[in-house]
Structure 1
Amino acid sequence: MTRPIDIDEIPDGPHNVDETEPAVILENTVVYDDLPIGSCDPFADQLTDLITDVNNVEDGPTKAQDGSMLNIDKIFKSMKSYGRYQVYFFVACQILSISSAMRSVAAFYKLGRLVPGYECHDELNSWSYSADEVRQQSTLVCSLIQNCTNLLTNSQWHSMYEEFQWVCGQDHFLATVQSLTPIGTFMSYMVSGHISDRFGRKTVIMVGKAYSIFSGIACALSPSFKIYLIFTFIGTFIGPISASASFSLIVESVNPKYRLIQGFAFQFSVGYMLAGLLAPLFGHWRIHLLISSLIGVPAFFMLFMLEESPRFLLQKKRFAEAAAVLTRIAKFNGKKVVFSEEEMKRIYDASDDAKTQKAKHYTAVDLFSTPKMAMYAISQIVTGMAMNVINDVFFYNIQDLSGSPFMNIFWSGALRLWTPFVAYGLENGRIVIGRRKLLLLSQGIVCLLLTSMFLIDVMSLGGTARVIGTMAVLVGHTLEFGLVWIAYKLYTTELFPTCVRSIALSTFSCTSLLGSIATPQLTYLSKYWHPAPYSGATLITLLSVGFAAKFLPETHFVALPDTVGQATNRQKLYREGKGQTTKINGNMPEENVPLAKNSS
């Protein structure tokens, strides 16, 4: 009978497995060959495991009897494709995402800038202006407020706008501050990928999340808007360094079949729902921001239990650490198997490429190193910009929509709850829709929905038409940050090889901020041409659909590429699917070929 190897039963030194009780068999391994010298480490993804008797291995990489070698995706499949470790990782990231979502809602460019209504009850100076009238006639209202001694405000939420009296600020002040804020994030994303590849995914995540929580608390307690801005600008540089590392680590720690599930750990759905419900109850932006920040503290301590990416460790030739990490993850998942440093060294050292290949320092320029990768990059840049434009148009103009701003935020989260289930059903159900169709269909629908709101604005329609337009914007925002977001993130992870994957995530997060820089100016222009924000959102989504349709391939159930050669020649990559066989270097791989014969 087959049983897993107990870690306690294995002595120090070479791991000789008792052939009378063989370990669990892994299947369908493939060999990557003809890899170009000078690309990413071609052996960053190749491992052996303990089911092969070392005494039966000739000089060279540890191989199965069919001559094939393992890859990390197969390793994760062997130790349980989606086990307790992956669930724990998901929960930790989701709690942090809830905290982040609630904090973001209270920011100065979202609910923080909600405009109140003003009333003056002086004996000889009585007047009243609604929030909409204040937004359109802020200069007039400011002059009236300054001459009023008995002033009242009408609002459910004590916002920064009210506390810092932005009604008397220059009209372009907030638009300028909003456009400048992403600069810190821009700079952060420029270096975060390199920092992640230098210090590791986990270290970057810990530092970024720690400051994110700290800056939220500091902003809530800030005595003035200037102090608030200082903490915010510092936070925009330090906080986002963990974003790309988080996504890289979570998808590099699971079998390809479950990357989609792990990607939804970063969704803001529950956070937006809680924010929409709790913000009116808290009644003050400071209280809301403080509580939202504290929610993330328990999840931060959960991060200490996470492991570094084994792909990253192998690429850095830290074989002992890679073996220890994989062993601990297997134990977390209830699989008592062990991975050895010597076996990993043997795989790497036996390769002629490993002996001759020189280390290379990779930068964002390498994302454009081949024509195909350049086209992938351009498409991802446009889609990232579209996502930021849509998100900012929604929040910057939330008082311009029908209904309560708080309920609109609640619905923006609630309407998104179904997207993980639908995406997973489409991915793994009878009708399989891969990344490409998922992106094209969802982004295409978003474009149509935003076009409808644009036309309603152009024709200055109100009443029922405005309600329909609001519903269209809510659904569009839901799809953009439900299905489009996950397809976009997974595409970035799956299109680009290991040594530039973190750089790709940080680079595209960086370029997407061009949308955040432009949107505040579109919002400011709405004072002169009301449809301006939705015209920009419609145009950028149309471009996103066009570039994706033209340049992006399907990456559904395809192994993560480790080299530039694999990323360019994707037909060489191992594919996993129901009843699928895939040509590898011109040959059809045999199905269900064991690594070692079961001698029992």
Structure 2
Amino acid sequence: MVGSTPFLLSYSSSSLSFIQIQDDDNEEQISSINTVVEDCIGEQLNWKQIFQVLLVSFAWFFDGQQTFITIFTDAQPPWHCDGGCESETNKNLPICNLPNDKWSWDQPVTTSIISEWGLQCDGSIITGLPASMFFVGSLIGGLLLATLADSWLGRKKMLFFSCLLMSLSSFLASFSSNVWIYSFLKFLCGFGRVNIGTAAIVLASELVSRKWRSQVGIFGFFLFSLGFLTLPAMAYMNRGFSWRNLYLFTSIPAVVYSILIRPLVCESPRWLIVRGKKEEAIEVLKTITSLPQTQSNLSSYFDVAISGIMPQKEESLNNVGLYSSLKILMQKKWSSRRLMVIIAMGLGIGLVYFGMPLGLELLSFNIYLSVMFNALSEIPSAFLAFILIDKFNRRSVILILTTLSGISSVLSTIEVVAIFNRLQIVFELASFVCACTAYDVLVIYGTELFPTCVRNSALSLVRQAGVLGGTLSPMLVALGRRNKFLCYGVFGLAIGCSGLFSVCLPETKDKAFCDTIDEEESKQEVSEPFIK
């Protein structure tokens, strides 16, 4: 036979790419995984895809609650003198310098772990241990679990196990009998929650077409902010009652949500195809497709299309090592360069994103109002990211936002003129909003820079860099008590410099997802001939 024979014709009004077999050259000309998946899903965003995206993204809501819950459960409650410390010389004495019969808590002792377990005199290492263990768990969990969603576990199961571990450990924390058990459970909570955001945003972006992937990625940021904002209201209603109630109120709904993930959430069809799971991929595509399903042979079209792009050696794919994706990322020059650059950006942006709220005590402004303003500012940041990600390219947005954040952060340290004291909170909020928006855009950017086979691993490392920046910020805040520039000044310099790295990365706006390493390298051959 001479010439080419159509193997799969276009389906209805949708442009399902056809696969042709060249007999004279004895080579198969096949569509990429991205092309076939995009065509099978359809360009329109239907209610089934919206339901899946919202259900997946809602994991961020519970993540936001557990990330900031220690603000209220681990705080030292207010206290008052019962006698002997009201004089001018004694009223400012630390609580530990007073006899136990000379003072009392303003609220019941069960209000906080500090008062219930008598930790008020144990020093900052013990009182801060639970929160520290939470972030240590996040760091270790990110390093150990980052590649599982790319290898044998998948996005859906990673989201399920992460949410379940986070919610169950939080539930058990409400029954803790001492600070050591409580700290261990906070470690487990951080160990589980660290991959929730990564798995959720990757899965949501892989369930919709290229036209909508940036927009659906922003949903999670809104829900994370909403989860954070529910905590003050819950803590206010729980005032005067046990701190354990907050864990029960937040963990029980999270456990129910985790259980619902298994039957209701779809796995990523891209990951299923890359892993050689054709039948499961077809079922998912049939569930979420926006193509008309009145024709009975819709399944056969999907079957033929996916068969033409399936990996040749399914068995070898299913036996890939857990950390093979990290090995692949570091072996390739182009991917290792991208990874190192975006990790450096994540470190600088994360330093400001997590550190600025901790340093609010250094500003000449009411601490309670400033915390509230910072929490509320995450919502306009998500809106701003939603707008910018659709209108402008990623590199320019990140560069401009990090520059503005850095300048504003440095300006918040100026005290030479009285008016600057009153404007400190304005500069701080401007810097924080820009940092939050830059962080949101960076996460979306990270999902687009790497192919499906290593996307979750790469994005996990980027988010881990942000967490690492958060762990460094308390030391800068401590230094800032002596010199404010050592806190907010360093924040500004760090985020300003981190944005400059964006010029080293390729632009991804309106570019198709790549699913394999070979596909990514083929796409970059002309523009980056040195990637090999």
Residue pairs, 1:65-84, within 5 angstroms? 71-72=34-35, 75=38, 79-84=42-47
**Number of aligned residue pairs:** 509
Residue pairs, 1:23-172, within 5 angstroms? 23-26=12-15, 71-72=34-35, 75=38, 79-107=42-70, 110-122=71-83, 124-127=84-87, 140-144=94-98, 146-153=99-106, 158-172=111-125
Name the structure 2 match of 1:479.
434
- Report the Cα distance in structure 2 between the residues aligned to 1:570 and 1:62, rounded to whole angstroms: 16
- Report the Cα distance in structure 1 between the residues aligned to 2:317 and 2:229, rounded to whole angstroms: 51
Name the structure 2 match of 1:561.
514
Change (3 A) 1:209 1:335: farther
In the alignment, structure 1 residue 286 sits paired with structure 2 residue 244: yes
Match of 1:306 among 265, 268, 274: 265
- Report the Cα distance in structure 2 between the residues aligned to 1:96 and 1:515, rounded to whole angstroms: 23
Code of the residue aligned with 1:121 in structure 2: it is: D
In the alignment, structure 1 residue 496 sits paired with structure 2 residue 457: no
CA root-mean-square deviation: 4.1
Change (3 A) 1:73 1:382: farther
How far 1:395 sits from its partner (Å)? 3.7
Match of 1:193 among 135, 146, 152: 146
Contact 1:106 1:285 in 2 (8 A): no
How far 1:62 sits from its partner (Å)? 7.8
- Report the Cα distance in structure 1 between the residues aligned to 2:248 and 2:230, rounded to whole angstroms: 14
Name the structure 1 match of 2:340.
378
Q: Which moved more, 1:418-427 or 1:330-339?
A: 330-339
Name the structure 2 match of 1:246.
200
5+ residue gaps, structure 2, are 1-6
Contact 2:275 2:318 in 1 (8 A): no
Q: Which moved more, 1:357-366 or 1:523-532?
A: 357-366
TM-score by length of 2: 0.81
The secondary structure found in structure 1 opposite 2:81 is strand
Contact 1:83 1:333 in 2 (8 A): no
How far 1:287 sits from its partner (Å)? 2.5
Name the structure 1 match of 2:191.
237
In the alignment, structure 1 residue 434 sits paired with structure 2 residue 393: yes
In the alignment, structure 1 residue 522 sits paired with structure 2 residue 476: yes
Contact 1:256 1:559 in 2 (8 A): yes
Q: Which one scores higher on RCO, CA 8 angstroms, separation ≥ 6? A: 1
Residue pairs, 1:212-361, within 5 angstroms? 212-267=166-221, 268-283=224-239, 285-303=243-261, 304-330=263-289, 337-338=298-299, 339-348=301-310, 361=321
Contact 1:175 1:521 in 2 (8 A): no
How far 1:384 sits from its partner (Å)? 2.0
* Identity in percent: 18
Code of the residue aligned with 2:406 in structure 1: it is: C
Residue by residue, what CA displacement relative to the aligned partner does 1:480-537 show, whole Å, maximum 9, x if unpaired?
A: 22x2122211221111122211211222233333223322333343454454432442
The secondary structure found in structure 2 opposite 1:195 is coil
Change (3 A) 1:314 1:120: same
5+ residue gaps, structure 1, are 1-15, 30-47, 574-582, 586-600
Name the structure 2 match of 1:453.
412
- Report the Cα distance in structure 2 between the residues aligned to 1:436 and 1:129, rounded to whole angstroms: 58
Contact 1:379 1:551 in 2 (8 A): yes
Name the structure 2 match of 1:8.
none
Contact 1:193 1:245 in 2 (8 A): no
Name the structure 1 match of 2:376.
414
- Which structure has the highest helix share of the two? 2
Match of 1:468 among 403, 423, 428: 423
Change (3 A) 1:335 1:391: farther
Code of the residue aligned with 1:439 in structure 2: it is: I
Q: Which moved more, 1:532-541 or 1:195-204?
A: 532-541
